[in-house]
Amino acid sequence: MTVSKTSEKSSEKPADTAKVRKDAAEVQGQASGEALQLGELSEQLGYVLKRAQLKVFENFLRCMASLQLTPAQFSVLLLVEKNPGRNQTEIASTLGILRPNFVAMLDNLESRDLCARIRSTNDRRSHILVLTDKGKAVLARAKKLVATKHEARLNELLGQSNREALLGMLSKIANEF
Amino acid sequence: MTVSKTSEKSSEKPADTAKVRKDAAEVQGQASGEALQLGELSEQLGYVLKRAQLKVFENFLRCMASLQLTPAQFSVLLLVEKNPGRNQTEIASTLGILRPNFVAMLDNLESRDLCARIRSTNDRRSHILVLTDKGKAVLARAKKLVATKHEARLNELLGQSNREALLGMLSKIANEF
DNA sequence: TGATAATTGTTATGGACCATATCAAATATC
DNA sequence: GATATTTGATATGGTCCATAACAATTATCA
């Protein structure tokens, strides 16, 4: 196999061997217009999981357009409502949010008068988080939107029992994987 | 209710009303050490879905540590192997990757000699994508790692039939939601 | 008690990922 | 053959995520 000067110019890329070019020549012009085959990709849990998650978030944002709440913001409001009086570190960490990144989130929610930081009397380093009246009202409306537009869509697509089974399996993965 | 000068300094935040401070005073010092209640959060599909996805990706990265392949890179290699001779636009779009963002990804894979861009003879604008021999070998090893370490873990956690049901529901969400 | 360590909220910063506008080269359209 | 479209690429900005560092406050403990 006379390979004339394995590298004519030193600017060639690592993959630029004769073998690859030969392989490529064999598939040149094949499969012009046809749809691509997903192949094993559609069996990869991570792939399907990620795509499903994107779709769900996308739908969530559409349902919440009138309230301008992201999934993360919604989760903060839910958690603060359920656990009033906790500080930023506690709320952030149970949501998997790092404290530095939680600051801007709270700045946003507080500027919209949805929740408030109150200096704790026990530990004057920390801020206690509470929903404002407006925050409670907005969250109530958000819950209704989620239930009627978002989760309802899921039930309609999967059926009640399947939806519950799905949630159970995802919880198991989230907690025990 | 005599509220002495509703706003002493104009620098007060919107949420700084007497009502919120009163509400906060009632929960000060409650629930010091106890664990937080997730409440309705654990029933929110989006929340559980996102957390599960993070766990799965995390595990995937650990399993692939020896090959240094991210989920996205793995999906590219899988798709190029199944569809050799397609161009960047086709591969990227079926993966939901925007063309500009696909360039750096390919630069990476190509610099590691896992795949190659070959100028198409049909349309000299486009690059045909092919796996190199090394790319094929690495992908083969990656598939084995995924099967024995990653997906096996899932089967062990959920059981074979549940794992298939999960995949089916996620596909349905990804495609029909 | 007082010196030292740890914690809380915060800022600054950098990386990874995602999205848009724009460009030159090549091709398609008419 | 003039114009529009497509392809890969660059530049750029936004969002999210992660780490280091800091002042104020609190905990530790010698």
Residue of B nearest to A27 (CA): B85
Higher pLDDT, residue A76 or A19:
A76
Cβ of A126 near strand C (distance < 7 A) = yes
Q: Which two tokens stand for residue A97?
A: 């949010």
Interface contact B45-A85, CB threshold 8 A: no
Cβ of A89 near strand C (distance < 7 A) = yes
Tell me, what's the pLDDT at B24?
A: 80
CB-nearest to A111 from B14, B85, B96 is B14
Place of tokens 């540590």: B65
Task: Output DSSP code: residue A83.
Answer: S
Nucleotide nearest to B108 (CA to C1'): C16
Write out residues 3-42 of B within 8 Å (CB-CB) of A.
Answer: 13-17, 19-21, 23-24, 27-32, 36-42
CA torsion through residues A159, A164, A169, A173, sign: positive
> Is pLDDT above 80 for B78?
yes
Q: Which residue, B111, B50, B138, is CA-closest to A55? A: B50
Per-position b or e across A71-100, b if 16+ CB within 10 A of its CB? bbbbbbbbbbbebbbbbbebbbebbebeee
| Chain A interface includes B156 (CB < 8 A) | no
Interface contact B52-A24, CB threshold 8 A: no
Q: Which fold has domain A56-176?
A: Arc Repressor Mutant, subunit A (1.10.10)
Q: For the residues A126-155, what does the mean pLDDT come to?
A: 97
* Inter-residue contact B115 to A11 (CB < 8 Å): no
Chain B residues within an 8 Å CB radius of A42: 171
Tell me, what's the pLDDT at A151?
A: 94
Average pLDDT, chain B: 91
Tell me, what's the pLDDT at A104?
A: 98
Chain A residues within an 8 Å CB radius of B17: 132
Q: What pLDDT digit, counting tens, does each position of B106-120 carry?
A: 999 999 999 999 999
Tell me, what's the pLDDT at A16?
A: 58
> Is pLDDT above 80 for A19?
yes
Q: For the residues B83-99, what does the mean pLDDT come to?
A: 98
Q: For the residues A63-92, what does the mean pLDDT come to?
A: 98
Q: Which two tokens stand for residue A88?
A: 């930023």
Cα–Cα distance for residue pair B114/B84, rounded to 1 Å: 13
Domain B52-176: CATH class, spelled out: mainly alpha
Lowest mean pLDDT: which of A30-39, A133-142, B64-73?
A30-39
Does an H or E element contain B175, and which?
helix B160-176
Tell me, what's the pLDDT at B31?
A: 65
Interface contact A50-B57, CB threshold 8 A: yes
Tell me, what's the pLDDT at A82?
A: 98
Q: What pLDDT digit, counting tens, does each position of B3-43 carry?
A: 444 433 344 445 457 888 888 878 887 766 789 999 999 99
Test mutation, A34, A38, A44, chain B, max B CBs within 10 A: A44
> Is pLDDT above 80 for A131?
yes
| Chain B interface includes A166 (CB < 8 A) | yes
Interface contact A24-B146, CB threshold 8 A: no
